Amino acid sequence: MDQKARQDTLPWAKPFSIDLLLKVLKVTFLHPFVAWMIPLCMRAQAMPWDHEAITWAVDYASLITLLFFLAKLNRQIAYSKSRKVDLSEEVIVITGGASGLGLLVAEVYGMRGATVAVLDVRDLESGEARGVSYYKCDVGNREEVARVAIEIERDLGAPTIIINNAAIVNGKALLDLSLDEIEQNFKVNLLGHFYTLKAFLPGLIRTGHGTVVTMSSVLGHLGAAQLSDYSASKAGVNALHHSLTAELKAYPDIKTVLVEPGQLSTPLFSGTVTPNSFFAPVLEPVDVAKEIIATIDKGSSAVLAMPLYARWVGWMGVFPVGVQAIARRVSGIDRAMKTFKGRSNGGEEEETEKAEKEEEKEEEKEEGKEEGKKRRGGGEEKEEEESLI
Asked whether the beta carbons of 214 and 163 are under 8 A apart, the reply is no
Q: How far apart are CA 19 and CA 307, in angstroms?
A: 6
Q: What torsion, rounded to 10 degrees, do the Cα atoms 3, 211, 136, 271 define?
A: -40
The helix (run of H) or strand (run of E) holding residue 285 is helix 285-298
Q: How far apart are CA 245 and CA 254, in angstroms?
A: 9
Residue 95 forms beta bridges with which residues? Answer: 119
Degrees to nearest 5, angle at CA 122 with 121 and 128:
125
Asked whether the beta carbons of 95 and 165 are under 8 A apart, the reply is yes
Q: How far apart are CA 297 and CA 102, in angstroms?
A: 16
Active site residue 230: yes
Residue 259 forms beta bridges with which residues? Answer: 215, 304
Q: Give the DSSP letter of residue 270.
A: T
Q: Give the DSSP letter of residue 283.
A: B
Task: Show the DSSP H helices in 46-99 as ranges.
Answer: 52-79
Catalytically annotated residue among 79, 135, 230, 309: 230
Cβ within 8 Å of residue 332, ≥6 positions away? 275, 276
What is the layout of strands, in order, in the sheet containing 254-261?
132-136, 115-120, 91-95, 161-164, 210-215, 254-261, 302-306
What number of other Cβ atoms are within 10 A of residue 156's Cβ? Answer: 16
Catalytic residue numbers, as ranges:
230
